């Protein structure tokens, strides 16, 4: 039975709505145009988005929203029901005379003897600071693992005093980041009878820590039926908060905490209207990623009939711990995370004893010593914790990816061999094409008049305010975008350019053109797949171009996973939105937990493997060909992709179980790499947490399972790479190198 909720959007008038005016104002900011494709775009009546070379332009639609992209012969995709959920811009916090939040790195060796703990030292240091206005500093977090130091709210006077005290290393202002299945296990080759699933015991007793927007614990994806007791080594807990208590945890969801102190300093108004100040998920993102990584098996999961099947996470027997660091900010109307909270969440995850960390979020491009994820992940690395992050949704151009630190496993997004759509039949049935749609009803509509504004270019384009209701009422509307691609409007169907030409020809040669539509079609085994999703951010990393990134491609396009059931998701009428327990969502946020789940399976199979060995196994066994035996193509251009698009290739879990050889990397190797980046000793200490190192062997040539050369067009270049491989096979083997040279 369908469930639906009413929205509070105002009726349309002839005057632009406040949201339309806000969107128009935002278009003046290029950074927003290029990167923010968030909830502001979703569900708002009267707004449309046209994407030309991936730059957004507001465009009027009849009564709903569309997002289209200029991609040659590539089909258009509407963003009405498919939400991108990794956002990768960063924004400066308020500055001036008011107090600001800072992250303070301290030299723990300078702690005076009377203090028994570093926390006591930090709080005592803060209490010693004074200010003419009499306002005291506010302590937020003390960090134990991710760094030596703390975060606090300070005035400029406080900061000046603190920087002169013994033990102070450096101070950085708060930074601001954004949050970046039924079929994917089968698409990845996971089988309950053979391969990595049974060999890895489905991830049994591996603990995955997810840093995200929280979790909806009542979801069937988090049931703990037939699961053994919680591992005794687990040190975490479930905390009580708004709409959340300890009883919401079980043998599947074994830990849940929230970290909002930093965000609250940015005037976050946390309430039941906007978010929960607790581990409970309000927006769905964290629930979706958690169930993708380690959701329990759920039969008959579907999105209003689409993609129906048994939903399961990549590691269905693994345990989950949620560290909520993403909250909705009323001031800027997006879901955000701040560095102080993210560091606190990572610090707690290390303390609790997770084996895997999954972060579907990113901060702006900064040196590694200013990046909270890079800093926290290095501390996790030293504890043997595998950390994976999303690459970002700012593709398809190069140098757009985030999370490029070489000790992170950075994941791009690919498609799967499944299409969701509608069958379109013209007239008496002589022409039938299939379009892309997720209209949330299994519905057949017969012989509806078909409108095309031929002869008026603005009407052909369905341009802003170009269509008259008396012309289009009760009809399907066909829009033609400069022959780049063509699309049905009204009931959310998209067709490719060739089929669009067939439809246009039919309309122009038929007096009373009609169309019949069957919605609710799911097609499996489509080819070619995977493709590199057009939104997936590309490498290399601007701050570290000597490491080939992203590392790998994983499913991230129209992924079905658990959702929060109390928020309207799918619009069906002017003010009505269907509720759903499972949602189809796209983004590198979705590909990241796929990799986290597979890492859990590999960790369960090979307990002695390091994080670098797990990443190496994934990369060296990844697929560079699709299910049509061709090279993986770029969804944007429909031509073969490159390693800067898909890294080592598409994730192949079963092959990763037995890679033969692995490229392992020690902590000292990463330090040598940081030295070669010309970081100062202080900057390296911030990342590594130690001052006990030497830069004698500085080198950009890490023992990484990939190579990249930056060429100068005017000069010939010779580069030498050295690699050491470790045989992890059961027996001694002989390997032969096969080198495939890139095109000249």
Residues acting as catalytic residues: 212, 285, 589
User: How far is C-alpha 131 from the chain's CA centre?
Assistant: 42
Is 113 exposed, middle or buried (CB count within 10 Å of its CB: 0-12, 13-18, 19+)?
A: exposed
Q: Is residue 503 within 8 Å of 478, Cβ to Cβ? A: yes
Q: To 10 degrees, what angle do helices 285-294 and 588-605 make?
A: 30
Give 421-433 as a DSSP string.
Answer: EEEEEETTTTEEE
Q: Is residue 212 within 8 Å of 361, Cβ to Cβ? A: yes
Which among 253, 213, 217, 218 has a CA at the least distance from the CA of 234?
253
Q: How far apart are CA 529 and CA 625, in angstroms?
A: 9
Q: Is residue 373 within 8 Å of 512, Cβ to Cβ? A: no
Which among 513, 667, 444, 561 has a CA at the least distance from the CA of 183?
561
Q: Is residue 204 within 8 Å of 661, Cβ to Cβ? A: no
Is 579 exposed, middle or buried (CB count within 10 Å of its CB: 0-12, 13-18, 19+)?
A: middle
State the first-to-last Cα distance of the chain, in angstroms, to the nearest integer.
59
Q: Which residue has the tokens 């491009």?
A: 365
Q: Is residue 443 within 8 Å of 519, Cβ to Cβ? A: yes
The backbone torsions φ and ψ at residue 684, rounded to the nearest 5 degrees and listed phi first, read -65, -35
Residues 6 or more apart in contact with residue 737 via CB below 8 angstroms: none
Residue 656 in tokens: 């990763």
Residue 666 has a CB neighbour count (10 Å cut-off) of 11
Q: Which residue has the tokens 């990369």?
A: 619
Judge if the upstream peptide bond of residue 540 is cis by omega within 30 degrees of 0.
yes
The backbone torsions φ and ψ at residue 393, rounded to the nearest 5 degrees and listed phi first, read -115, 35
Q: How far apart are CA 599 and CA 617, in angstroms?
A: 10
DSSP at 241:
B
Residue 160 in tokens: 């000046």
Q: Is residue 561 within 8 Å of 582, Cβ to Cβ? A: yes
Q: How far apart are CA 21 and CA 607, in angstroms?
A: 56
**In degrees to the nearest 10, what's the CA dihedral of 122, 126, 127, 130?**
160
Residues 6 or more apart in contact with residue 24 via CB below 8 angstroms: 16, 58
What beta strand segments (E) does 452-532 contain? 476-481, 485-488, 493-495, 514-524, 531-532
């Amino acid at each position: 039975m369908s469930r639906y909720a009413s929205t509070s959007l105002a009726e349309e008038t002839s005057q632009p709505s406040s949201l339309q005016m806000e969107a128009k104002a935002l278009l003046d900011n290029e950074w927003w145009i290029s990167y923010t494709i968030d909830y502001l775009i979703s569900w708002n009546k009267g707004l449309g988005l046209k994407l030309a070379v991936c730059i957004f332009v507001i465009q009027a639609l009849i009564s709903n929203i569309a997002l289209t992209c200029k991609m040659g012969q590539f089909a258009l995709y509407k963003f009405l029901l498919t939400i991108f959920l990794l956002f990768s811009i960063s924004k400066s916090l308020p500055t001036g005379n008011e107090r600001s939040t800072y992250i303070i790195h301290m030299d723990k060796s300078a702690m005076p003897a009377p203090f028994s703990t570093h926390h006591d030292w930090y709080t005592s240091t803060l209490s010693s600071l004074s200010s003419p206005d009499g306002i005291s500093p506010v302590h937020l977090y003390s960090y134990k693992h991710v760094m030596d130091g703390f975060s606090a709210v300070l005035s400029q006077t406080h900061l000046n005093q603190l920087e002169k005290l013994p033990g102070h290393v450096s101070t950085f202002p708060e930074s601001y980041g954004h949050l970046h299945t039924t079929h994917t296990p089968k698409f990845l080759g996971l089988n309950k009878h053979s391969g990595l699933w049974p060999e890895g015991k489905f991830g049994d007793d591996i603990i995955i820590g997810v840093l995200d927007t929280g979790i909806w614990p009542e979801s069937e994806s988090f049931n703990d039926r037939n699961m053994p007791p919680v591992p005794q080594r687990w040190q975490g807990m479930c905390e009580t908060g708004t709409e959340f208590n300890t009883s919401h945890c079980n043998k599947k969801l074994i830990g849940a905490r929230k970290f909002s102190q930093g965000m609250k300093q940015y005037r976050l108004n946390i309430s039941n209207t906007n978010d929960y100040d607790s581990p409970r998920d309000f927006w769905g993102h964290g629930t979706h990623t958690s169930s993708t990584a380690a959701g329990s098996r759920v039969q008959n999961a579907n999105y209003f009939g689409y993609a129906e099947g048994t939903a399961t996470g990549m590691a269905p027997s693994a345990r989950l711990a949620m560290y909520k660091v993403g909250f909705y900010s009323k001031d800027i109307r997006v879901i955000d995370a701040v560095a102080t909270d993210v560091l606190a969440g990572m610090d707690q995850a290390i303390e609790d004893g997770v084996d895997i960390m999954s972060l579907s979020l990113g901060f702006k491009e900064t040196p590694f010593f200013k990046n909270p994820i890079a800093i926290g992940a290095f501390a996790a690395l030293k504890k043997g914790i595998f950390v994976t992050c999303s690459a970002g949704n700012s593709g398809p151009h190069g140098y757009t990816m985030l999370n490029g630190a070489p000790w992170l496993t950075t994941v791009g997004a690919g498609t799967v061999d499944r299409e969701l759509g509608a069958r379109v039949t013209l007239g008496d049935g002589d022409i039938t094409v299939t379009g892309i749609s997720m209209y949330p009803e299994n519905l057949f509509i017969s012989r509806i008049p078909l409108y095309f504004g031929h002869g008026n270019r603005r009407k052909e384009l369905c341009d802003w305010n170009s269509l008259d209701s008396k012309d289009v009422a009760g009809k399907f509307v066909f829009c033609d975008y400069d022959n780049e691609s063509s699309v049905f409007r009204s009931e959310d169907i998209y067709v490719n350019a060739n089929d669009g030409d067939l439809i246009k020809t039919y309309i122009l040669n038929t007096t009373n053109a009609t169309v019949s539509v069957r919605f609710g079609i799911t097609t499996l085994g489509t080819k070619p797949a995977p493709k590199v999703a057009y939104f997936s951010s590309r490498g290399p990393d601007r701050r570290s171009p000597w490491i080939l990134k992203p590392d790998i491609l994983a499913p991230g396009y129209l992924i079905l996973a658990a959702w929060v059931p109390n928020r309207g998701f799918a619009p069906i009428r002017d003010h009505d939105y269907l509720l759903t327990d499972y949602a189809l969502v796209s983004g590198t946020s979705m590909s990241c937990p796929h990799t986290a789940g597979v890492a859990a399976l590999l960790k369960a199979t090979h307990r002695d493997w390091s994080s670098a060995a797990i990443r190496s196994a994934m990369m060296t066994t990844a697929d560079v060909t699709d299910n049509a035996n061709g090279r993986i193509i770029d969804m944007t251009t429909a031509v073969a992709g490159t390693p800067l698009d898909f890294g080592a290739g598409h994730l192949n879990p079963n092959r990763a179980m037995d890679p033969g050889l692995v490229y392992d990397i020690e902590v000292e190797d990463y330090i040598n790499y940081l030295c070669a980046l010309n970081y100062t000793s202080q900057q390296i200490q911030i990342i590594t947490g130690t001052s006990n190192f030497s830069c004698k062997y500085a080198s950009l040539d890490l023992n990484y399972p990939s190579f990249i050369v930056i060429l100068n067009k005017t000069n010939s270049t010779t580069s030498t790479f050295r690699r050491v491989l470790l045989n992890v096979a059961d027996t001694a083997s002989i390997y032969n190198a096969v080198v495939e040279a890139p095109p000249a």
